[in-house]
Chains A and B, each alone.
Chain A
Amino acid sequence: QSVLTQPPSASGTPGQRVTISCSGSSSNIGSNTVNWYQQLPGTAPKLLIYSNNQRPSGVPDRFSGSKSGTSASLAISGLQSEDEADYYCGAWDDSLNGQVFGGGTKLTVL
Chain B
Amino acid sequence: EVQLVESGGGLVKPGGSLRLSCAASGFTFSSYSMNWVRQAPGKGLEWVSSISNSGSYIYYADSVKGRFTISRDNAKNSLYLQMNSLRAEDMAVYYCARGDGDYVSSPLEYWGQGTLVTVSS
Which residues 71-96 in A have Cβ within 8 Å of B in the complex?
86, 88, 90, 92, 96
B-side contacts of A2, CB under 8 Å: 44
Count of interface residues, chain A, beta-carbon cutoff 8 Å? 26
Residue of B nearest to A104 (CB): B44
B35 touches A99 (CB 8 A): yes
A92 touches B105 (CB 8 A): yes
The A interface is mostly helix, strand or loop, or mixed, namely strand
Given contacts A44-B95, A98-B59, contact A35 B50 (CB under 8 A): no
B-side contacts of A103, CB under 8 Å: 44
**A56 an interface residue at 8 Å Cβ cutoff?**
yes
**B109 an interface residue at 8 Å Cβ cutoff?**
yes
Given contacts A45-B95, A50-B107, contact A100 B47 (CB under 8 A): yes
User: Which of B35, B47, B109 has the most chain A CB within a 10 Å cutoff?
Assistant: B47
Instruction: Tell me the complex Cα distance, A101–B109, Å.
Output: 15
Residue of A nearest to B6 (CB): A44
**B37 an interface residue at 8 Å Cβ cutoff?**
yes
Instruction: Tell me the complex Cα distance, A96–B60, Å.
Output: 9
B46 touches A44 (CB 8 A): no
Which residues 8-59 in A have Cβ within 8 Å of B in the complex?
32-33, 35, 37, 39, 44-47, 50-51, 56
The contact of B47 among A47, A56, A86, A98, by CB within 8 Å, is A98
B-side contacts of A35, CB under 8 Å: 107-108
Interface-located stretch among B9-17, B18-26, B77-85, B111-119: B111-119
**A97 an interface residue at 8 Å Cβ cutoff?**
yes
A-side contacts of B95, CB under 8 Å: 44-45
Q: A35-B108, A44-B111, A99-B35 are in contact. List 8 more A-B contacts (CB 8 A).
A: A2-B44, A50-B107, A96-B62, A97-B59, A100-B47, A101-B45, A101-B47, A102-B44
Query: Which residues on A are within 8 Å of B, measured CB to CB?
Result: 2, 32-33, 35, 37, 39, 44-47, 50-51, 56, 86, 88, 90, 92, 96-104
11 contacts between A and B (CB under 8 A): A2-B44, A44-B112, A45-B45, A47-B108, A50-B109, A51-B107, A88-B45, A98-B61, A99-B50, A100-B47, A101-B47
